[in-house]
Homo-oligomer: A and B are copies of this chain.
Amino acid sequence: MNAQSATRKTFRREGEDKRREDLIAATLECVAERGLAGATVREIAMRADVTAGLIRYYFPTKDDLISAAYRAVMNRMTVQASDALQNAANDPRARLQAFVTANLGEPIMDPHNLSLWAGFIALVHADPVMAAAHRDGYLGFRDELEILIREALIATGKPAERVHTRRHAIAINAIIDGLWLEGCLARDIFAEGELAETGIIAIEAVLGISLTAEGDAR
């Protein structure tokens, strides 16, 4: 009723989960567009259509928000890769192929994912807690891969001893990571699906089996 200047922002009280998700999403937007440095509390708040103070209500410190955002991305990528497995055929070789193809295509192979990942990696070196979290994620991924490899080898009638599957998992993990990296950094210099195909061929060579053919041997 008085000069109604500086009208206070109207707002809705959202559920705690919704707000956290929105804030994390806004954070990812910022990081994706302008790097970690561009993810300031004020910018994040603006994107989430919220005032800066609210961030501290849900996340004690900005680092907590950042690390939550990182976990969200890693989790999202893991889930997306697993989803591809669920929709895959029963044949172990087809499953391994689906896993590789999923990791080397949209939406996992995306520059934004790399940006956030890289920004976080730079922190891993300093923060032991994050280092542990990262290692767990890496080993989890590799273990999942090793299982796929063993089953594919067995399905082809090949020996699948632990000593070898471990080494294969390390190498194939490297192939996937390396191609993912290349794709994220310069997707435009590769043809559509080229990297996934390259990965499959390389992995077939490493394992000495075919992932596409129906037969047990070549």
Contacts of A175 in B (CB 8 A): 171, 174-175, 178, 202
Q: C-beta contact mask, A140-154 vs B, less than 8 Å → 1, else 0?
A: 000000000000000
In the complex, whether A118 has a CB less than 8 A from a CB of chain B is: yes
- Shortest distance between the CB of A36 and any CB in chain B (Å): 6
The complex is assembled from copies of this chain, and their number is 2
In the complex, whether A123 has a CB less than 8 A from a CB of chain B is: yes
Q: C-beta contact mask, A104-129 vs B, less than 8 Å → 1, else 0?
A: 00000001101100110111111000
Contacts of A34 in B (CB 8 A): 126
- Shortest distance between the CB of A144 and any CB in chain B (Å): 15
- Shortest distance between the CB of A111 and any CB in chain B (Å): 6
**Complex-state Cα separation, A114 to B201, whole angstroms:** 28
Contacts of A1 in B (CB 8 A): none
Residue pair B201, A174 in contact (C-beta under 8 Å) = no
Contacts of A170 in B (CB 8 A): 179, 182, 190, 194-195, 198
Residue pair B118, A121 in contact (C-beta under 8 Å) = yes
What total of chain A residues lie within 8 Å of the partner, measured CB to CB? Answer: 48
Contacts of A189 in B (CB 8 A): 135
Contacts of A125 in B (CB 8 A): 32, 35, 111-112, 114-115
- Shortest distance between the CB of A182 and any CB in chain B (Å): 6
Contact of A118 among B118, B171, B201, B206 (CB under 8 A): B118
Contacts of A76 in B (CB 8 A): none
Contact of A177 among B122, B135, B178, B195 (CB under 8 A): B178
Contacts of A167 in B (CB 8 A): 198, 201
In the complex, whether A213 has a CB less than 8 A from a CB of chain B is: no
**Complex-state Cα separation, A34 to B170, whole angstroms:** 29
Interface residues of A (CB under 8 A from B): 31-38, 111-112, 114-115, 118-119, 121-126, 134-135, 138, 167, 170-171, 173-179, 181-182, 185-186, 189-190, 194-195, 198-199, 201-202, 205-206, 208
Given contacts A122-B122, A178-B178, A178-B179, 4 further A-B contacts (CB under 8 A): A121-B185, A173-B178, A174-B174, A178-B181
